[in-house]
Amino acid sequence: MRDKLILLSGWGLGSAPLQPLADALRGLDPRLHVQIEPLPLLDSSDPADWLDELDANLAQDAWLGGWSLGGMLAAQLAARRGERCNGLLTLGSNLRFVAEPSWPAAMADETFAVFRQDCCADAAVTLKRFALLCAQGAADARGLSRQLLAAAPPAQSTTLLAGLDVLAALDTRAALQAFVGPQLHLFAGADALVPATVAPALLALLADVEVGLIDHASHAFALERPHEIAAAIQAFLHEAGDD
């Protein structure tokens, strides 16, 4: 299925933030079948359970991609599938979302712990705050955050907390090093959640992957700048032999 691209959603906000990007990709290449896949609705905090669920339900031999947490899961799944994955692309996805000494280009552990605590106390309010963080750095941050929230699924604290635990547990460095297929990793220059310094850190780890930075864009850059990102993805697919 070299003409099929599966995009995994990010945490909490559903599939809608990726829809304009999918539409833009289809407009550039009508032969490309783009499927947006929501994250599993699981109570488990074990990333292996999420990957098992995705592996069982997503088409084989497709391109895998995703936004933020979705991109991290796509990276793990690509490494698991190996030659059964045509290639990988991630959008605003850190290699570790929570910082540690060997990977400082990430969110401070204390900041993440407070965010998780807030989500446990009031998931709806936390999701609103998350939408604002996703939109921070955009030309119209308030309008973009309202757009994100308006299309978000109802906040389910159990599933959201499990997703946060998976986000904190994932470390995709080994997966990206193990996956031998083509890779494209796009980052946003004004991202409030995944620092732009991840781009050079990723290149230092893996010199033979494609890395791009969209200047003056927010974490929700797939919704904010869909045509620009679609052009970069199409160029990557064609360069990787998907003509």
- Whether residue 173 is predicted with pLDDT greater than 60 in this model: the reply is yes
- Whether residue 242 is predicted with pLDDT greater than 70 in this model: the reply is no
The pLDDT confidence band at residue 184, using thresholds 50, 70 and 90, is very high
CA-to-CA dists, residue 6 to 32, 70, 90, 152, angstroms = 11, 10, 11, 20
Q: What is the mean pLDDT of the chain?
A: 96
Can you give the residue ranges of every domain in the chain? Answer: 4-239
pLDDT digits (tens, 9 = 90+) for 75-123: 999 999 999 999 999 999 999 999 999 999 999 999 999 999 999 999 9
Q: Give domain 4-239's CATH superfamily.
A: Alpha/Beta hydrolase fold, catalytic domain (3.40.50.1820)
> Which pLDDT value is given to residue 240?
87
pLDDT digits (tens, 9 = 90+) for 33-79: 999 999 999 999 999 999 999 999 999 999 999 999 999 999 999 99
Buried b (16+ CB within 10 A) or exposed e, 92-103: bbbbbbbbeeeb
State the amino acid at position 186 in one-letter form.
L
pLDDT digits (tens, 9 = 90+) for 146-162: 999 999 999 889 999 99
Average pLDDT value for residue range 130-135? 98
Residues recognised as catalytic: 68, 191, 219
CA-to-CA dists, residue 217 to 15, 19, 63, 188, 224, angstroms = 19, 17, 25, 5, 7
Whole-model pTM over 0.85: yes
